[in-house]
Structure 1
Amino acid sequence: MRVLVTGAFGFIGAHIVAALTAAGHEVIGAVRSGRIDARFPGVRAIACDMASDVHEADWLPRLDGVDAVVNCAGILRERGRDSFKTVHERTPLALFRACSQLGIRRVIQISALGEIADGEFIASKHRGDAALKTLDLDWLVLRPSLVYSARGSYGGSSLLRALAALPRFLLLPGQGDQLVQPIAAEDVGLAVVAALARPALVCEVIELVGPEVLALRDYLLAWRHWLGFGRPVVLPVPAWMVRVGAAMGERLGDGPLGQTMARMLERGNVGEAHAVTRLQQTLGLQPRPLQRALAETPSAVQDRWHARLYFGLPVLRVLIALLWLGSGVAGWLATEAEVITVVPGSSLSAGSLLMLARLTASADLVLGALCLLRWRPRWVLTLMLLMLLGYTLGIGIGWPSHWLDPLGGLLKNLPLFGVLAVLLATEERR
């Protein structure tokens, strides 16, 4: 079959694309800007924008020759033009109506397991499901629980890995007895393949859950053991502190740490009593237990790096931003006499040197603020690197005595090149 997959390069979408490809289906990935992802060199990508393609006409030309559609697109939090209303409701409904208009009967919606009270992420997903149910299509809604993979992570799965990998300690909300029923991303992909192979299975909502209900504490300990780290000292985190952290993450961050994830974990994220049995009966799928999934893919040093750097890299970014801000403030507070002592014997006048110091200080302040706000981080980090190179070469060649400064002077710039290079290299999130 020729299958159009939206959100094809997301964490869940990528595993679905891999499973469909392995099963012999022809996959078309509908992704933002139609970018070609090197992970799927044989997959044709077409451009779409779930934040704006809210009309049937936007989707009709993309569905030419398509036999089935799998909608994996989703956002965990709103940012810019990406709103829950648009990405989870309006745009998918336009896609589904275009399918109906062209006679494409098979539509699979990847939703999410949870309660409406968990937040607008779940609520909007379920409203999208409800809109699909009103259409005359052979629809199927799949609602996965906590999705993980030993072969990679993104978003919430990366956050939980990082929590499991904290040096010496394991921080748990309360006693860590919140319940989850995790399912391997590979099994989610197999579920979609099985659904396409069962055309008679229609108009059903199926929960995708693993065979075990685990306490969050046991889930994190299993990942810690898989990563190869020793048994930790468990530190319970009071509920009020968890809520404060989630609120701060919701307001200040752009990652998975937020109120939606906190509510889902606090309430628990498990399927109905017979969800696993129903999964076996409807799709013929026997999801693998967590320990088996981990045993099938031994951890590598890259997994340990990623888990340990998850919290370290943001801290490093903040420190670099503060360094640039501090340099900018110092440049504006410096007097004319202080500026002259930095570059003695310059051919520029004292007034010109002071003006140059103010201009570079202003650039430092702007770049430091943009780095802190994560505005176009690749551009900002590159400009920081170029600015640092300019400082180092300009002062190092013009006034080489600064290399011999007993407090480090220009020598301190050398490790900063490495720090900025690391931040640039690790900027990609998928």
Structure 2
Amino acid sequence: MIAPIRTPSQQLVTVFGGSGFVGRHVVQVLARRGYRIRVASRRPERAFFLQPLGTVGQIYAVQANLRDPGSVARAVAGADHVVNLVGILQESGRQSFDALQAKGPRLIAESASPAANLVHVSAIGADLRSQAAYGRTKAEGEAGLFAVRPDAVVLRPSLMFGAGDSFFTRFASLARLLPVLPLAGAETRLQPVFVCDVAEAIALAVDGKVPGGRIYEAGGPQISTLRDLVQYVLDITERRAVVLSLPKTLARMQGSALGLLDRITLGLLPDDLVMTRDQAIMLETDNVVSDAAIAEGRTLPGLGITPTAFEAIVPSYLVRFRRTGQFDLKRHSGPDDTLPFLSPDSTLENRAR
């Protein structure tokens, strides 16, 4: 007897880390497809803003902590699909790389139903031999996941961009404050990928349209050095600053000093200024889609997604950092002295969603 086809509205997706930068886009894409969504968050009250993205009762939040197996089991109970987006760039208290990135994926896999579809977001740069704890624990998490569920889908994105990101927005903010921008890994190559493209790839995996048991890599259409990307931010925001390339040793020392200062001040150091030694080490290696992934079709184009160029999106949310502001009359006035402008609902990012 053939099992009846179940519609998305009859299926439940648990999304760990659904209230974060990537998570909010994933939840929105899944909601538009009609899935019921359970957002698993350490602080569920921070996920309440997601509810208007769906119909009444379609999206709801539950408490779950990857350091608490019981809460994880409750979060995945009855779920047809499980998406793990949890990741951190620096450790804080008990929120460690080992607990969240190395052990968390396996815990989720062991707690979920064997019939559930598992999708895990890792990162380009995941490597068991990495000197950086971030890259090493990302790889350990993938290995633990596949040990339990060899049919899982793993997605490794490069640097992600979009409104509220921690890269373009960060440097635009720093350019307002600092006359010199010291860079670790200034010549390191990056392949920025639009967060909405990553969310679409995750949704395709939930739909069952992405073969499991493989690692997919997500990058944008352009490869640029860190220095070039920072200079792009300066050009867009019309700011002037000296971009200073730091030698590897000095970059690691800077990361150690800033990381220590952040701990000493109990996290009071502004986020834009925080950098750790681990992050400096990660910036010593190119963060681009591998030749093997391209050859084997384990990329966004291989999934039928055309990557979005950062030039098409970034200016729409960096305009507020311009020295003369978003509504400079001299800049925007045309022959008829009218003032064209982008409203929040007409930004390229919103049109892309």
Task: Give the TM-score, by structure 2 length.
Answer: 0.74
Residue 47 of structure 1 aligns with which residue?
63
Say whether 1:104 aligns with 2:123. Answer: no
Q: Aligned ranges for residues 107-122 of structure 1 at < 5 Å?
A: 107-114=118-125, 115=127, 116-122=129-135
Gaps of 5+ in 2: 1-10, 53-58, 324-353
Contact kept in structure 1, 2:72 and 2:108, CA below 8 Å: yes
Q: Residues 343-386 of structure 1, C-alpha deviation per residue, up to 9 Å, x if partnerless?
A: xxxxxxxxxxxxxxxxxxxxxxxxxxxxxxxxxxxxxxxxxxxx
Q: Partners in 2 of 1:230 and 1:163 — Cα distance?
A: 10
Q: Partners in 2 of 1:105 and 1:169 — Cα distance?
A: 50
Displacement of 1:69 in angstroms is: 0.5
Say whether 1:152 aligns with 2:164. Answer: yes
Say whether 1:131 aligns with 2:149. Answer: no
Look up the equivalent residue of 2:279 and give its one-letter code.
M
Q: Partners in 1 of 2:33 and 2:175 — Cα distance?
A: 34
Compared CA separation, residues 177 and 12, structure 1 to 2 (3 A): same
Q: What SS does structure 2 have at the residue aligned with 1:96?
A: helix
Look up the equivalent residue of 1:152 and give its one-letter code.
G
Q: Aligned ranges for residues 233-272 of structure 1 at < 5 Å?
A: 233-253=242-262, 254=267, 255=271, 256-272=274-290
Say whether 1:180 aligns with 2:198. Answer: no
Compared CA separation, residues 136 and 247, structure 1 to 2 (3 A): closer
Structure with bigger gyration radius: 1
Q: What SS does structure 2 have at the residue aligned with 1:81?
A: coil
Residue 220 of structure 2 aligns with which residue?
210
Look up the equivalent residue of 1:29 and give its one-letter code.
V
Residue 21 of structure 2 aligns with which residue?
11
Q: Aligned ranges for residues 160-179 of structure 1 at < 5 Å?
A: 160-166=171-177, 168-173=179-184, 176-179=186-189
Displacement of 1:60 in angstroms is: 3.1
Compared CA separation, residues 283 and 244, structure 1 to 2 (3 A): same
Say whether 1:75 aligns with 2:88. Answer: yes
Instruction: Report the number of matched residues.
Output: 294
Displacement of 1:5 in angstroms is: 0.6
Contact kept in structure 2, 1:9 and 1:37, CA below 8 Å: yes
Q: Partners in 2 of 1:117 and 1:298 — Cα distance?
A: 34
Residue 338 of structure 1 aligns with which residue?
none
Q: Residues 165-216 of structure 1, C-alpha deviation per residue, up to 9 Å, x if partnerless?
A: 5555444447x32211111112111110122223461101011111211011
Contact kept in structure 1, 2:98 and 2:137, CA below 8 Å: yes
RMSD over aligned Cα, in angstroms?
A: 2.6
Instruction: Give the fraction of aligned pairs with identical amino acids, expressed as a percent.
Output: 27
Q: What SS does structure 1 have at the residue aligned with 2:234?
A: helix
Q: Partners in 1 of 2:42 and 2:214 — Cα distance?
A: 29
Give the one of 36, 40, 51 matched to 1:30.
Answer: 40
Task: Give the TM-score, by structure 1 length.
Answer: 0.62
Q: Partners in 2 of 1:211 and 1:179 — Cα distance?
A: 13
Contact kept in structure 1, 2:194 and 2:310, CA below 8 Å: yes
Compared CA separation, residues 47 and 70, structure 1 to 2 (3 A): same
Contact kept in structure 1, 2:204 and 2:210, CA below 8 Å: no
Displacement of 1:10 in angstroms is: 1.7
Contact kept in structure 2, 1:163 and 1:171, CA below 8 Å: no
Say whether 1:85 aligns with 2:98. Answer: yes
Displacement of 1:249 in angstroms is: 1.9
Q: Partners in 2 of 1:264 and 1:188 — Cα distance?
A: 21
Q: Aligned ranges for residues 348-359 of structure 1 at < 5 Å?
A: none
Q: Partners in 1 of 2:308 and 2:301 — Cα distance?
A: 16
Q: Partners in 1 of 2:157 and 2:176 — Cα distance?
A: 25
Displacement of 1:126 in angstroms is: 0.9
Compared CA separation, residues 164 and 264, structure 1 to 2 (3 A): farther
Q: What SS does structure 2 have at the residue aligned with 1:299?
A: helix
Displacement of 1:134 in angstroms is: 1.4
Contact kept in structure 1, 2:119 and 2:154, CA below 8 Å: yes
Contact kept in structure 2, 1:71 and 1:108, CA below 8 Å: yes
Q: Which moved more, 1:279-288 or 1:125-134?
A: 279-288
Q: Partners in 2 of 1:169 and 1:120 — Cα distance?
A: 29
Residue 62 of structure 1 aligns with which residue?
75
Displacement of 1:275 in angstroms is: 4.0
Give the one of 283, 293, 310 matched to 1:290.
Answer: 310
